[in-house]
């Protein structure tokens, strides 16, 4: 496996995420999707689905990032494979597992990034949201004075009345919330996909200043123009 710096950071990311990918992303050699096109076509995979996979690979293929704090690190690296369908449409693998987890990381029919086990749990509305969440977790862990982990029913005790959503992560099953001096990450994907409510997890990053809370990004995901 050849490893190189991931120099072509995809557009559409915040400055925080671009910096994270530039500093920590590695490029892994991957086999082009086009080499499998005829094989998939012969097995009734629509050409439009293969086109989606090729576009995903062109944008993200081979990107290896540091392990996520949840989902046993997340995909080892991003690369499409294994198209499959159900009544909702066509899905494909977002990247191979980093460790032996009981689910696959998938891209859904509408571009959602999530996990598929007993059921489907869309974690973020797009793969960009997943990358943004990794960048934010890395940023928050560096600047927080304290990190608190809650599991299962203890998550219900979190009061988010004074918090606003962190929009750039495009959260679905997994969401981030910003308060006056803390960030809260809620992870419910495993609980939904595996039918295991006790699998809900919250991480609270507290003691953050303005830079720690935002890292140059406004509440709506736009970048702060520093004077």
Q: Report which of 142, 176, 181, 144 is spatially closest to residue 23, judged by C-alpha positions.
A: 142
Q: Report which of 110, 105, 134 is spatially closest to residue 120, judged by C-alpha positions.
A: 105
Residue 80 vs residues 1, 100, 108, 180: alpha-carbon distances, Å: 17, 18, 12, 39
For range 59-80, the mean pLDDT: 96
DSSP 149-184: EEEGGGGGG---TT-EE-GGG-BSSEEEEE-SSEEE
Rounded Cα distance between 173 and 183, Å, is 17
The verdict on 38 and 72 lying in the same domain is yes
Give tens-digit pLDDT for 10-65: 888 999 999 999 999 999 999 999 999 999 999 999 999 999 999 999 999 999 99
Rounded Cα distance between 128 and 15, Å, is 13
The verdict on 41 and 142 lying in the same domain is no
Per-residue model confidence (pLDDT) at position 2: 56
Give tens-digit pLDDT for 135-182: 999 999 999 999 999 999 999 999 999 999 999 999 999 999 999 999
Residue 220 lies in a domain: no
For range 192-217, the mean pLDDT: 93
Over the chain, what is the mean pLDDT? Answer: 92
Report which DSSP code applies to 195: T
Q: Report which of 217, 219, 226 is spatially closest to residue 15, judged by C-alpha positions.
A: 217
Give tens-digit pLDDT for 93-146: 999 999 999 999 999 999 999 999 989 999 999 999 999 999 999 999 999 999
Among 85, 107, 128, where does a domain finish? 128
Domain total in the chain: 2
Among 94, 128, 162, where does a domain finish? 128
Residue 104 lies in a domain: yes
The verdict on 18 and 69 lying in the same domain is yes
Per-residue model confidence (pLDDT) at position 38: 96
Report which DSSP code applies to 66: P
What is the radius of gyration, based on Cα positions, of the chain? 18
Q: Tell me the percentage of the chain whose pLDDT exceeds 70.
A: 93
Q: Are 123 and 115 in contact (CB under 8 A)?
A: yes
The verdict on 121 and 140 lying in the same domain is no
The verdict on 83 and 104 lying in the same domain is yes
The verdict on 32 and 86 lying in the same domain is yes
Question: Which among 1-5, 117-121, 201-205 has the top mean pLDDT?
Answer: 201-205
The verdict on 83 and 98 lying in the same domain is yes
Question: DSSP 3-state assignment of 117?
Answer: coil
Rounded Cα distance between 206 and 143, Å, is 9
Pairing of strands 182-187, 174-178: antiparallel
Per-residue model confidence (pLDDT) at position 7: 67
The verdict on 105 and 9 lying in the same domain is yes
Among 128, 162, 191, where does a domain finish? 128
The verdict on 123 and 160 lying in the same domain is no
Rounded Cα distance between 54 and 80, Å, is 8
Q: Report which of 142, 111, 138 is spatially closest to residue 25, judged by C-alpha positions.
A: 138
Could you tell me the residue range of the domain that residue 190 belongs to? Answer: 131-214
How many other CB atoms are found less than 10 A from the CB of residue 219? 13
Residue 177 lies in a domain: yes
The verdict on 140 and 106 lying in the same domain is no
Asked if residue 196 has pLDDT above 80, the reply is yes
């Amino acid at each position: 496996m050849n490893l190189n710096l991931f120099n072509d950071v995809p557009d559409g990311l915040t400055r925080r995420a671009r910096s994270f990918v530039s500093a920590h992303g590695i490029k892994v050699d991957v086999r082009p999707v086009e080499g499998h096109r005829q094989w998939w076509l012969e097995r009734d995979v629509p050409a439009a689905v293969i086109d989606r996979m090729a576009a995903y690979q062109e944008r993200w293929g081979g990107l290896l990032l540091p392990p996520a704090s949840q989902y046993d690190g997340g995909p080892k690296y991003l690369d499409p494979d294994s198209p499959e369908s159900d009544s909702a449409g066509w899905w494909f693998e977002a990247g191979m597992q980093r460790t032996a987890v009981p689910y696959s990381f998938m891209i859904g029919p509408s571009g959602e990034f999530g996990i598929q086990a007993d059921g489907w749990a869309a974690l973020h509305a797009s793969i960009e949201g997943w990358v943004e969440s990794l960048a934010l977790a890395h940023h928050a862990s560096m600047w927080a004075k304290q990190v608190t982990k809650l599991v299962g029913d203890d998550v219900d005790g979190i009061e988010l009345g004074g918090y606003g959503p962190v929009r750039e992560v495009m959260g679905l099953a997994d969401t981030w919330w910003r308060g006056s001096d803390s960030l809260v990450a809620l992870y419910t994907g495993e609980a939904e996909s595996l039918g295991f409510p006790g699998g809900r997890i919250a991480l609270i990053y507290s003691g953050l200043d303005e830079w720690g809370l935002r890292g140059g990004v406004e509440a709506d995901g736009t970048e702060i123009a520093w004077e």
